[in-house]
């Protein structure tokens, strides 16, 4: 029985682009105790593979976090498969705002210690004592209330291309960094109404419980995240209070919410919100690059990486160790990319 995708990236892409049917991008998560996460994972792979689903799914003892691409003709069977499992029954699903059907090219289901890396000791606080879930319309209306503190619980590269009006967007690389920073930096706001939001809602579950544990009295979170807000705001035809693009963790790397572009190319400062990964695979830094700079730098983040990709493979291997430091990507961004942007 096949329990892993065995196609190469090239083979998977060729298969995807040869399909004659439409795909739909969706996401969901649920915190639910899984006593046998390995068996749960393997059974899901067999079921989703049978339905020709693609995507990236993280499973841990604490639950599931999934971003997927499902054939339109299999949506009904897919939802039925979720409902057939008590752990996934009546799962709230977020549907993509902009969708070309090419968000994923493989099915990857991975076991993790947590479905979102937060660095928290779950035994030290009540993870079920979460904040109040606000519907998109309730969240929309609460944004204008006086003394309300709106906090973006995403990373800097996400909030840089899009965020809610007047939101505080911490300058962090990881959710692990941010969750403690928010508790420390806003300790004087424990009596204020706090509004948290993230892409689909999963990060706010832990964040809201952690804030309540630390004495924040009125903690609220956007139910369904930016994805659900965008879907509902378009249906109501109200003016969106989220400006720019919603960063997503798939091949699209983003979906525009209101048509505005609020960020700049990290290399020349031109108006741009297109993320790319450095073509030097030993770097692979995620950054914003316009078409002109993509051409100039050969899709690399720096002249150094541009030079490296032209070297013989043996020389590239010899240089590889300099990119192995777990902090190297952050250092490249903060020391070489961001100064250029700020100067422009």
Which positions are catalytic? Answer: 198
Q: In terms of residues, how long is the chain?
A: 344
261 in Cβ contact with 244 (< 8 Å)? yes
CB 64 within 8 A of CB 115: yes
**Residues near 26 by Cβ (< 8 Å), separated by ≥ 6?**
67, 68, 69, 70, 93, 94, 95, 96
């Amino acid at each position: 029985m096949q329990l892993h995708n065995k196609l190469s990236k090239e083979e998977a892409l060729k298969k995807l682009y040869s399909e004659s049917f439409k795909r739909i991008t969706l996401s969901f998560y649920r915190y639910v105790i899984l006593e046998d996460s390995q068996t749960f994972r393997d059974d899901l792979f067999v079921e989703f593979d049978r339905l020709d689903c693609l995507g990236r799914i993280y499973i841990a003892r604490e639950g599931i976090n999934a971003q997927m691409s499902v054939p339109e003709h299999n949506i009904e069977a897919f939802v039925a498969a979720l409902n057939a499992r008590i752990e996934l029954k009546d799962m709230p699903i977020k549907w993509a705002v902009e969708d070309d059907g090419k968000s994923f090219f493989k099915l990857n289901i991975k076991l993790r210690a947590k479905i979102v890396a937060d660095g928290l000791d779950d035994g030290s606080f009540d993870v079920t004592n979460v904040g109040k879930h606000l519907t998109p319309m309730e969240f929309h209306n609460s944004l204008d209330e006086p003394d309300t503190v709106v906090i973006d619980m995403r990373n800097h590269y996400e909030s840089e291309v899009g965020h809610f009006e007047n939101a505080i967007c911490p300058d962090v690389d990881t959710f692990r960094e941010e969750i403690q920073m928010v508790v420390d930096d806003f300790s004087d706001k424990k009596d204020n109404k706090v509004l948290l939001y993230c892409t689909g809602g999963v990060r706010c579950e832990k964040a809201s419980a952690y804030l309540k544990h630390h004495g924040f009295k009125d903690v609220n979170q956007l139910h369904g995240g930016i994805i659900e807000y965008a879907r509902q705001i378009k249906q109501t035809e109200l003016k969106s209070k989220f400006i720019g693009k919603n960063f997503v963790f798939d091949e699209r790397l983003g979906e525009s919410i209101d048509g505005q572009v609020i960020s700049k190319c990290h290399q020349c400062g031109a108006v741009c919100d297109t993320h790319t990964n450095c073509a030097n695979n030993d770097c692979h830094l995620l950054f914003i690059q316009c078409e002109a700079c993509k051409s100039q730098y050969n899709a690399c983040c720096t002249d150094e990486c541009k030079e490296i990709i032209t070297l013989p493979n043996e020389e590239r291997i010899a240089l590889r160790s300099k990119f192995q430091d777990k902090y190297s990507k952050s250092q490249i961004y903060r020391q070489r990319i961001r100064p250029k942007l700020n100067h422009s």
